Structures are given as C-alpha cells and as structure tokens.
Amino acid sequence: MEVKPVATLAELMEKTYARIGEDIEDHDEEIETVVKNGINQGYMLIRSGADRRTATEEFEQEPPITLPDKFIEVIDVIHEKDGYLSKIEYVQEDSLLYFFTPLSPGKITIRAVVLPDALVNDTDVAEVRDLFVPALIAYGAYSHQLYRRKYSSAQLLLSEFNSYLG
C-alpha cells in the first residue's frame, strides 16, 4: 500500500495539530495563524535552501535590470549576442542586477532561484520533495511551541527541522 504524502495546506495543518495536541475542529484562531505562518516560514526556508527551484525570464531593458521579487539568487545570465556572462561580470544587489562592463543591445536571459507563493488556501500544495513534508510539520509545531513559550520543546522541533535540511 502506497502512502500519499501530505502536500496541501489543509493536510499540513491537520498533521501539525495532531503533532501539537490541538483539536482540528475546536482550536483558537490565533493558533491557526501561528501554525499557518510557521508552515509558510518553513516552506520558504526549505525552498530557498535545500529544495531550490529555478525560473528563467528574458529582459530587454537597459542595465541595471530590475529583477522580479520572486528571484532571490541569480544563477546564469546569458546575453543573446555576448553569450554566457561570468559571475565576475555582474552583481546582484537586492532586486537590481548591475553589470561591470557595457553590454551590446539585445535580450538578456536570466535564470534564478525563486521563492514560491505562500500557502494561503487549504488546497494550496507545498511544492517540496516528499522528504521535506515532515520538516514543514515540525516547523509549524516549532512555531506553536514558541508561541506557547515552551522553549525546550521548540528547540527540539527546530533541531528536527534542521536535521531534514542536512
């Protein structure tokens, strides 16, 4: 029998509530907010580090290039005429990409690590490898324990989360 991994926000919330001993049907709205924010924080940490995803976008504007907010780390820059640019030929500062040498006119294709959209609706799916689903639950539980000021339990849950990230 194959076990379906927990992937939607509703399923992650349910598993986190079970982990922290909260009733899924009768819970405080503040607890729901704390757990949901914790799951989303863990999701962003996982996707920005251990389970990174990339996106590619083309630009035709003059440098510096304003990067989309979802781009967190530029991986490749390819100019249609000049080819691949070395990492020493550009620098990313916040949402701007500066070039150290003038570029000839043309399209610039940028591949970068991107952050996912936050999980908001119950049907939103956490796009992580199955390995990281328990880590999301642990981080949601960690946030709850911090909120409840149960620092020893919170430290254990944070250690568990970090162990998944390796």
pLDDT (tens digit per residue) in 48-83: 888 899 999 999 877 899 999 989 899 999 999 888
Among 71, 92, 114, identify where a domain stops.
114
Q: What are the per-10-residue average pLDDT scores of the chain (166 residues)?
A: 66 92 77 94 92 91 87 92 90 91 88 93 92 95 95 96 92
Q: Is 16 part of any domain?
A: yes
Give the pTM.
Answer: 0.81
Q: Is 106 part of any domain?
A: yes
Residue 69 neighbours by CB distance under 10 Å: 9
Angle, alpha carbons 17-154-25 (nearest 5°) = 15
The strand ranges marked E within the chain are 53-59, 65-66, 71-79, 83-84, 90-93, 96-99, 108-114
Same domain, 36 and 75: no
Q: Is 119 part of any domain?
A: no
Q: Is 108 part of any domain?
A: yes
Same domain, 137 and 89: no
Q: Is 122 part of any domain?
A: no
Give Cα separations from 165 to 17, 42, 54, 140, 144 (angstroms): 22, 11, 18, 15, 20
**Is the Cβ–Cβ distance between 67 and 110 less than 8 Å?**
yes
Residue 101 pLDDT: 84
Same domain, 134 and 100: no
Same domain, 132 and 152: yes
Same domain, 61 and 28: no
Same domain, 16 and 39: yes
For 84-99, the DSSP string reads: EPPGGGEEEETTEEEE
**Is the Cβ–Cβ distance between 119 and 126 less than 8 Å?**
yes
Q: Is 161 part of any domain?
A: yes
Range of the domain at 79: 53-114
**Could you give the number of structural domains in the chain?**
2
CA atoms within 13 Å, Cβ hemisphere of 98: 5
Q: Is 37 part of any domain?
A: yes
Residue 46 pLDDT: 94
Q: Is 120 part of any domain?
A: no
Residue 148 gets which letter from DSSP?
T
Same domain, 63 and 97: yes
